[in-house]
Amino acid sequence: MLRIAATVCLLFSMTLVVCPQGRSGNWLKGKWEGKGFQIDTDETWTMRLRTQGRKFLVEYPSLNCGGEWKLISINSRRAMFRERITLGLNECVDKGNVLIERLNGRQIAYRYSYRGTTEVSASAILNRKR
């Protein structure tokens, strides 16, 4: 009986450590920077992402625009967002789709598609900043 109780406690404590990390997106937490590539215009631009809890703020300094990402879904490897541009509406397209994929502990991949499409129109590799 004691062995069963110990096993149950061990399994329960393991789920507390593993499950929240996958669902909450702790892998995405922090500051990220990189250079993006716009496929349809063949141009590059700088990009910064800051995450805190469920808040995702994005800046495109070289395009003079930025905004926030509304989380649609997340797991231990991917996160999907709807982008909402709040600064520089004339410089960037509003309400696009963003897919972020975890590459490793220090890098994430960014893919952007215009609203209503699934074709990727921009991409970037972002590096974690300390």
Could you report the per-residue pLDDT of 18-73, keeping only the tens digit for each?
333 345 578 999 999 999 999 999 999 999 999 988 899 999 999 999 999 999 99
Mean per-residue pLDDT, 8-19: 36
What is the count of structural domains for the chain? 1
Task: Report pTM.
Answer: 0.80
Residue 126: closest CA among 112, 9, 12, 4: 112
CATH number, position 75? 2.40.128.380
Range of the domain at 19: 2-129
